[in-house]
Structure 1
Amino acid sequence: MSTHGTEPTPDMGTLLHDTESDRVGEFFGTAGDRWTLRPPGGGVPWEVSPGAVEPAGTYDHVRARAAEENAARRAHRL
């Protein structure tokens, strides 16, 4: 973990909960003073204020894993 502004920057791939959108994403990098998250397993990234992010809890990990599995099933059917 490094420091970006006043917030410590998570390691790449760290699972985080975006409290503004109630989405779970992997830390993907920084864009100016914002952080970039992406859905677990890939997808369209989005930007979020570091102050609106918290570490993912157990429930968030389960949600993320279910989303990954559902995406893999949808991709397999195409």
Structure 2
Amino acid sequence: MSTEDGPPNEQNPPQAPSPGTLLVDTSRRDQVGEFRGVAGPYWSLRPVCGGTEWEAKPANVRPPSPIERLRAEISRCNARSAGRIL
């Protein structure tokens, strides 16, 4: 007999990362966003260069690859130097 709670195929939701963590939303064509917080069953992400936050299902979110992380950080630095973000 299993000691787990709930049905055997039920998965526990992933633990929310720290605010500011870069993540990739696979449901939005692999858009990289910055984790902002939890909104009910969803995670709030914000584009790295600023803009409107969106909500993503935790199951559709993954850590960025090294090249995705580098591109996002370079985009943020370029936007900051151009005065588009603070």
Q: TM-score, normalised by structure 1?
A: 0.77
Question: Shift of the alpha carbon at 1:41?
Answer: 4.7
RMSD: 1.8
**Residue in 2 aligned with 1:45?**
53
Structure ID, larger Rg: 2
**Residue in 2 aligned with 1:29?**
37
Q: TM-score, normalised by structure 2?
A: 0.71
Task: List alignment gaps of at least 5 residues for structure 2.
Answer: 1-11
Relative to total residues, which structure has the larger strand share, 1 or 2? 1
What number of residue pairs does the alignment pair up? 72
Question: Shift of the alpha carbon at 1:74?
Answer: 4.1
Tell me if structure 1 keeps the 8 A contact 2:44–2:54: yes
Task: List alignment gaps of at least 5 residues for structure 1.
Answer: none
